[in-house]
Amino acid sequence: MSTKINLLRQQTPSDGILLTSWLEKTGFSRSEVHDYMVSEWLQRISTGVYKFAGDTPSLYGILASYEKQVGLKYHIGAASALELKGFSHYITMGKPTAIVFSPVRPRLPKWLYTIELDMNLVEVSSKVLGTVGIEQMDYRSQSLSFSSPERAIMECILLSPSRYDLMDVYYLMEMLTSLRPALIQQLLENCTSVKVKRLFLYMAEKAHHRWFAKLDLKHISLGAGPRSIAKGGVKVSTYDIVIPKELAQYE
């Protein structure tokens, strides 16, 4: 028994979790799992969820475990994904916040909100941008899904101004000098949010990015009618949007 559990220990990151369904697929019976709990090798976190005694699961470790063990691909997005790629002008005070996008079903497990984690968790639906622009990164010998910079900046726009100030989003946009126009084109054509598409194009053009000229705007539907992002703001006729004065006047 000890050899079997020791092998599992070697394969499990100290910030990961173990799911009953995966344990059974890898040859562990429910009675064995129970025995490992009694002998204090394993501790139960929630129904069907375990960790090794002494381990401290992290949010990213948990997400990577779900992806590896049961194929659920929740992904790190918005500013959290840009931070993973080195794009950030924020100075985090206190516990950081992770923006995690999930499909309409299945949503993130409810037990994640009942335990102490290393990051504050904010869940957002991924339906506006679909599955385009989601990439993989190695995380402690496991795979972790996250948004490409092209998708992440659009997610920041999606969550503004309620979660992100538009000026902060624009500062991030200024850093993104080497985005891939083909991927941007695909994202914009598939995006269902008129607000995201109009603000993205406005910010990209304002930042004078070279990749902007390579976009085929004729194939990007921008909808009809004005969109007001800021009360009492400045109208940008080209994209028929009203934006904060600070952003309109920034040079």
Predicted confidence (pLDDT) at residue 211 exceeds the cutoff of 80: yes
Beta-strand relationship, 42-46 and 97-102: unpaired
Residue 32 pLDDT? 95
pLDDT band at residue 92, thresholds of 50, 70 and 90? low
pLDDT band at residue 90, thresholds of 50, 70 and 90? low
Distance CA 19, CA 24 (A): 9
Distance CA 74, CA 80 (A): 13
CB 50 within 8 A of CB 33: yes
The 10s digit of each residue's pLDDT in 121-136 is 999 998 999 999 999 9
Residue 89 pLDDT? 67
- Report residue 89 as tokens: 């002008």
pLDDT band at residue 20, thresholds of 50, 70 and 90? very high
- Report residue 54 as tokens: 């002494």
pLDDT band at residue 208, thresholds of 50, 70 and 90? very high
Residue 47 pLDDT? 95
* CA 213 to chain CA centroid, nearest Å: 28
CB 59 within 8 A of CB 118: yes
